[in-house]
Structure 1
Amino acid sequence: MGPDRPLLTYYDDATGERTELSAPELGSWSARVAALLRDGCGLTAGGDAAVLLPPHWQTAAVLLGAWSAGIAVSFRPWSTAGLTDPPAPAPDAVFVSRRRLDSWLEEVPAGRHRFVLGLEPGLRPLAEVPAGYRDFAAELVRQPDTAPAYPELRPGDAASPDGTTYAQWSELAHEIAASLGLRAGDRVLVDAGEHEQPLQWLLAPLVAGASIVLCANLDRDALDRRIAAEGVSRVL
């Protein structure tokens, strides 16, 4: 896949947003997240972050950036009916969407560094930041888009607070990709409402060498047009 070709294209049919990122562009945003955690927050490899975000291009940057910085990630999809059993002790960092924060304020885990994401088109900052949180968009644009060289990650390092390693996540992602028949060069359209786990909408396509068309609030009436316009080869 060429560096200028889209790796992740995000649609929100409720707002009309379309954001397209090449591999270098997604890498740049991920590097900013890594710098935010390592340099902005002072976290080191082995730290942990709770990610309470829906499928979104910014979520992809948070996940990939955290993992590249050696930060273990726990992920809970939007549809989870409550946030029982929060990480204990409190995670080093929390990333939560404004919508989720408004809905489940009392159940969002405490953390030393807490970031709220408006998930607005164009990475617009929030008009009002909830007390105790920092505006992710405003913080992110202050970070360098090339992360410093961090110590090399090892396959046996923990990628999740429960001890699941990078190697185990990779194996799971490859198994899912194989079960879905994903292949290198595929252009995969993903209904964000049906596939909220990042293993499905992000990691499985990436390990297969596929690109992603991630659709939130998918307009089924526009599906055929989108498949044709985006050159989609697989639909999940």
Structure 2
Amino acid sequence: MNANPTPADLLHSALAADPARPLVTFYDDATGERVELSVATFANWVAKTANLLQGDLAAEPGDRLALLLPAHWQTAVWLLACSSVGVVADVGGDPAAADLVVSGPDTLDAARACSGERVALALRPLGGRFPQPVAGFADYAVEVPSQGDRFAPFAPVAPGAPALVVDGAELTGAGIGARALADAAAAGMPQAPRVLSALPYDSWQGLSYGLYAPLAAGGSVVLCRHAELLDADGAAARETSEKITFKAPGPSRS
């Protein structure tokens, strides 16, 4: 691995070490959905999404992408795809100031302010498409399956280039990796942790505990959306069944 690994470097290392192990497990307690992605499956989604970004959407290193998505396994895919291409993921960013926008179903009106390419995600179980086409948007679930399973950037992505904007701060790819490793160490995560996180993806803390720190520490994340709908017995049963070894800070069912 590079001395200053980017998120894409961390994913490549995880793929080389053990492609079959779980990486992202996602629960939506409003729908009952559970999705588990191995390192290999997650990396395949990232490659397809990166190819969509670089090819069909003509995104280039340094372009700004307003990411208007909740904590979700597909959001994690987009974050790693942006890192792979060199596109700056602006979490909750202003679509009007972005080169392109990726939106969930609840933020489509705001996303229309983007004058560049627009992609919409239905966030339905099994990655399903919108029941009806959304005017002015490419449907991610329609566009991504035909993309290639292997990705190679047209131009090298510099570890020191901007990669993420969150909490009003800009981080480089190498900065994300370094900060995630520091978070894992400071929090006392065990080796190869199985992290439970119900934090939203609207802050560095949510992104770190819900994706970057487990990836950097050679572990996996159980990402829970609408976890407040789960009762105490259900929450305890999930921790046991998922073999959780570390819980993200804050209320476990928030």
Shared topology, TM-score over 0.5?
yes
1:111 is displaced (CA, Å) by: 3.7
Instruction: Select which of 121, 141, 145 maps to 2:145.
Output: 141
Equivalent residue number for residue 53 of structure 1? 69
State the identity as a percent: 34
Equivalent residue number for residue 113 of structure 1? 117
What SS class does the counterpart of residue 107 from structure 2 fall into?
A: helix
Alpha carbons 2:103, 2:111 under 8 Å: kept: no
Gaps of at least 5 residues in structure 2 are 1-16, 249-254
Tell me: CA distance 1:178–1:46, structure 2 relative to 1, closer, same or farther (3 Å).
same
Residue range with higher mean Cα deviation, 9-18 or 196-205:
196-205
Gaps of at least 5 residues in structure 1 are 77-82
Alpha carbons 2:201, 2:207 under 8 Å: kept: no
Equivalent residue number for residue 170 of structure 1? 177
1:178 is displaced (CA, Å) by: 2.2
| 1:1-150 paired onto structure 2 within 5 Å | 2-76=18-92, 86=94, 90-101=97-108, 105-106=109-110, 109-150=113-154
Q: Does 1:151 align with 2:155?
A: yes
1:135 is displaced (CA, Å) by: 0.8
Corresponding residue pairs, total: 224
Alpha carbons 2:65, 2:89 under 8 Å: kept: yes
Instruction: Select which of 204, 207, 210 maps to 1:201.
Output: 210
- RMSD after superposition: 2.2
Instruction: Select which of 209, 232, 235 maps to 2:244.
Output: 232
TM normalised by structure 2 equals 0.80
Residue range with higher mean Cα deviation, 153-162 or 49-58:
153-162
Residue range with higher mean Cα deviation, 164-173 or 129-138:
164-173
Tell me: CA distance 1:200–1:234, structure 2 relative to 1, closer, same or farther (3 Å).
closer
1:227 is displaced (CA, Å) by: 1.1
Tell me: CA distance 1:74–1:157, structure 2 relative to 1, closer, same or farther (3 Å).
same
Equivalent residue number for residue 195 of structure 2? 188
Equivalent residue number for residue 4 of structure 2? none
Q: In the aligned structure 2, how far is the partner of 1:107 from the partner of 1:153? A: 27
Give, as a single letter, the amino acid of the residue that structure 2 aligns with 1:66: C
1:47 is displaced (CA, Å) by: 1.8
Q: In the aligned structure 2, how far is the partner of 1:73 from the partner of 1:198? A: 12
1:193 is displaced (CA, Å) by: 4.6
Q: In the aligned structure 1, how far is the partner of 2:156 from the partner of 2:244? A: 35
